Structure 1
Amino acid sequence: MQPINIHLADDHQILIDGIKTLLNTIPEFSIVGTSLNGAHIYEEVTQNKTDILVLDISMPEKDGIQVLKEFGEKGFPCKVIILSSYDDIKIIKEVMKLGASAYLTKHCACDSIIEAITSVMTGQEYFCKSVQTKIFETATKNNPKLKPVPLAIAGTLTDREIEIIILISLEYSGKEISEHLCISTNTVETHRKNIMKKIKAKNTISIVKYALKHNLIRA
C-alpha cells in the first residue's frame, strides 16, 4: 500500500512539530514537506507529490484563502484540510466553496486530524465535531419545528445522518442541505441512501415519520 503523502503548512513551528509527531505514529502516513508561509506552497506540494495538504488560514506572505484560490486557478494538486483557530461560519463556508475537503479547529486537531485525513482520502468531506455542530445550528437557527437539542438515537446512525434526517424533515432540498452543511450534493445523496437503508425508509415521508417518532422535530 502506498503511503499517504502529507504536507503541513502553518506559521507556528511548534504546531507543525506537534502534528508531525502525532502523524508519524501512523505507518501509512508520510510527512513529505512543511511550510511556515504560503508563498510557495503550490510549487512545494506539486514537487513532493503531496496527497493531503494540512493548511492554516492565517499565514504570512500568502494566507490559506489565497493558497486555495491559487489551487483553483492552477488546478488542485492535492486535497486540502484546513486547520485553523477560526470557527467563523463565513470563513468555513468560503474555504469549502474554494475547494477545501475538511475543516478542523486547532483545539480539536489531535482528536480529529487522523480521522480527517482518512475520510478525505476516501473522497468524503470532514468537519471536527465543534465545527459540524456550529454549521448545523446555523442552518436550523430559529426554525420553530426544531427540537431545542437534537437527541442522539441509539443504533448505527451517525451524527451527520441524524442532522440530515432533521433537515429533510424540515423540508430542505438536497441542494439546500448541501449549501447549509458545506458538503457536496453527491455527499448529501449518499447520506440519504444510507439513511433510507438503515431506517428502512421507502421515501421522504418515511424519513419525516422517523424524525417525528424519535422527537427530532416538532409536528
Structure 2
Amino acid sequence: MTTKDSAARTTPVQIIVCDDHALFREGLARLLDEQPDFQVVGKAADGQELVEKTLELRPDVILLDVVMPGMDGIAAVRTLQRRNIPVRILMLSAFDEERFVLDAWKAGIHGYILKDTATQELVRAVGCVADGEVWIGEGFLSRIMDKYRAAVEGQRENKASQPGGLTPREGEVLELLATGLRNKEIAARLFVSEKTVKTHLTHIYQRLGLRDRVEVALYAIRHGLVDIGPS
C-alpha cells in the first residue's frame, strides 16, 4: 500500500488529530507537523469536539482513537458520515480486537492502524488515505491472521473431540464402527445393549448427513478419527 509521489501535492494534507490522552495527542500532532506534506490544523480530545472542529476546519484527513470518553471514535465517524462531510478517516487505536475493527469499517473509516506502528508506516498510512486509498497496516494484518489461525485450530480441536456436534458416546461409537466392528461387538466394548448402539448410529447418520456404515468409516478416516496406518 503506497502513497502517490509527494511531489505531486500542491498543498499540504490538512489533518485533525483526535485522542483523549493529551501527551499522545500533542506528540502525534508534532510528529505529523514535521512532515513536509502534512499540516495539523486542529486537535480534539473527544468525538464531539472532533465533529465540531471538522465542520469548522474542513480537514483532508482525520486521525482519531476508537475509545474515548463521551462520544467515542466510532460514534464520531457515524456522525460525520450522516452529515456527508467529505473527509478521509484513519482510525489510530491500541485495540486490534475484531469487534472494534468491524464496527469502525462499518461506520465508514478509510484506514485502521495500531498505535505501536512505526513512524514511517504511520506517515505512509496518512498519505495513502489522503490520496483516496484504503490502508490496513501489515503488522495489524499479521496479528489478525494469527488470531484467525488460532481460532481455526481451536475449532479443529473441538471438532476432532466431538465431530459434527456428536456426544462423547456417539463419538466412541463412530470410531469403533469405523474400525470395522459390528453393532454387537461395539455394544460389548461399551457395555451397552445392541439396541442402544443402533440408536447412537441413527443419531450419527442424522447429525453428520451420512447414509450407511461405509460413509461413516470414510468420514472417520477423512477427519483423522481412526488410525489407517499399516497393522
TM-score (norm 2): 0.57
Question: Displacement of 1:77 after TM fit?
Answer: 3.2
Count of matched residue positions in the alignment of Structure 1 and Structure 2: 144
Q: Please point out which of 106, 114, 120 is paired with 2:123.
A: 114
Question: Displacement of 1:36 after TM fit?
Answer: 0.9
The answer for the alignment partner of 2:133 in structure 1 is: 124
Q: Is the 8 A contact 1:87 1:105 kept in 2?
A: yes
Output one character per residue of 1:142-175: Cα deviation in whole Å (capped at 9) or x when no partner.
Answer: 779xxxxxxxxxxxxxxxxxxxxxxxxxxxxxxx
Question: Displacement of 1:140 after TM fit?
Answer: 6.4
CA distance in 1, matches of 2:137, 2:25: 19
Q: Is the 8 A contact 2:17 2:62 kept in 1?
A: yes
CA distance in 2, matches of 1:124, 1:141: 30
Output one character per residue of 1:58-97: Cα deviation in whole Å (capped at 9) or x when no partner.
Answer: 1122001110111221113311111111110221122012
Q: Please point out which of 19, 32, 47 is paired with 1:38.
A: 47
Which stretches of structure 1, 4 residues or more, deviate above 2 A after TM superposition?
109-112, 134-144
CA distance in 2, matches of 1:124, 1:114: 14
Report percent identity of matched pairs: 24
CA distance in 1, matches of 2:151, 2:25: 40
Q: Which runs of 5+ in 1 are unaligned?
A: 145-219
Quick check: 1:85 aligned with 2:102?
A: no
**Which residue identity does 1:68 align to in structure 2?**
V
**Which residue identity does 1:92 align to in structure 2?**
V
Q: Is the 8 A contact 1:104 1:112 kept in 2?
A: no
Question: Secondary structure of 1:69's match?
Answer: helix
CA distance in 2, matches of 1:95, 1:109: 22
Instruction: State the structure with more CA Rg.
Output: 2
Q: Is the 8 A contact 1:11 1:59 kept in 2?
A: yes
Question: Displacement of 1:48 after TM fit?
Answer: 0.9
Against the structure 1 CA distance between its residues 32 and 92, is the aligned structure 2 distance closer, same or farther, given a 3 Å change threshold? same
Structure with the larger helix share: 2
1:21-32 matched pairs, under 5 angstroms: 21-32=30-41
